[in-house]
Amino acid sequence: MTPTDRAINAVWRIESARIIAVLARMLRDVGLAEELAQDTLVTALERWPKDGVPDNPAAWLTTAAKNRALDELRRRALLARKHEEIGRDIEALQQHVVMPDDAAHEDDIGDDLLRLVFTACHPVLSREARVALTLRLLGGLTTEEIARAFLQPTATIAQRIVRAKRTLAEARVPFEVPRAAELPERLSSVLEVLYLVFNEGYSATAGDHWMRPALCEEALRLGRIVAELVPTEPEVHGLVALMEIQASRAAARTGPGGEPVLLLEQNRARWDHLLIRRGLAALQRAEGAGQARGPYALQAAIAACHARARTADETDWPGIAALYDALAALLPSPVVELNRAVALAMAYGPEAGLAIVEGLLDDERLAGYHLLPSVHGDLLFRLGRREEAALAFERAAGLTRNARERELLLGRVRACFPE
């Protein structure tokens, strides 16, 4: 790859979401906006190696893309034979087309990005489609990169993205920020997508790697953008706080060979303390809003307890257990209950957690959840019930689709029968 190609790719990764957002506002069609943006990228790939990289490459791309959108509007006007009506719209839009030197005076880019966020994460789409479309439009990832990240065939991801754009068009989803009454529900969809993307990067559900850092980075980057676009929403800051603090442990979560290193065994000197400070600041913004803490803020508060402990022994497990009590009351689910059991076991002994875990063993919602037998095995091991623990670890190893995690669990089986 030439230096010019690298420059184009770098600029595109940063600016593509903004360009698509501007075009989507002009055209009211997310799919067409992405197509025209891609056409602009192709033009840059053809021209910049010959003409040189512009002084302001982002402005060059934006201007070229907006001119393409204006051409499309003119074409529509001709086809519809409504020259006078649409001509006025084009004339108004033409006034906003800027030359590169005037890029600093671009119109409401922030609003356009926010509209694109809410469009890509619209509830009319399936959860999988929202994730794929968000990474494509806002993360700037290629279809191949998304497919690799989620261990899916490229054709599957491509079809998912095409269907998502078609669904948005057929449902006539408006390119706009939801009204105040609709905002909480729609914002929860946006946050769910970011949460899912981050979690898949933090603990990969399948494949040969324990983590996929690129997904964590994209989710965190997009979360920071949303937090600046809707600064008065405490749960946005709660999610950003959670991701910042979790991401701070990334370097310590794997060993020299890529093997998993669990939280209590991590070298805390390898934690990124800048990210921890950012996370604690975001948590303070969430808690300073004067509202009751939501699910993301509560999870961030739990992560903060770990981040503030200089050693594993200094962890405030009773405080974490109390936070899980609050989370379970607010968002009751078997997964939260399992995590609460771990916290209680750490705070008050394995028996305190075992009673809860054994009450979850027959819950059909956790039938394929490998962490249930994993936690069960750990508590049995701590109580000296080694044979039962080994069976639980074997069951967990059989359920996980992550090769690194399977190796870890099989190692726990062997540890039950030391020579």
Tens-place pLDDT, residues 153-183: 999 999 999 999 999 999 988 888 887 777 8
Q: Angle CA(15)–CA(162)–CA(213) in degrees, nearest 5?
A: 50
Which residues, other chains included, contact 32 with Cβ-Cβ below 8 Å and sequence gap of 6+?
A: 23, 72
pLDDT in tens, 357-392: 999 999 999 999 999 999 999 999 999 999 999 999
Transcribe 275-303 into DSSP letters. HHHHHHHHHHHHHTTSS---HHHHHHHHH
pLDDT band at 101 (very low <50, low <70, confident <90, very high): very low
The predicted model scores a pTM of: 0.77
H/E element holding 156? Answer: helix 154-170
Whether residue 92 is predicted with pLDDT greater than 70 in this model: the reply is: no
CA 2 vs. chain centroid, Å, equals 31
pLDDT in tens, 225-267: 889 888 999 999 999 999 999 999 999 999 998 899 999 999 9
Nearest to 41 by CA among 23, 24, 61, 67: 61
- Is it true that domain 3-107 has CATH number 1.20.1740? no
The residue behind tokens 């934006």 is 62
Evaluate whether 356 touches 336 at the Cβ level (below 8 Å): no
- Alpha-carbon distance of 88 to 72, in angstroms, equals 15
Residue burial 25-48, b: 16+ Cβ < 10 Å; e: rest: bbbebbbbbbbbbeebbeebeeeb
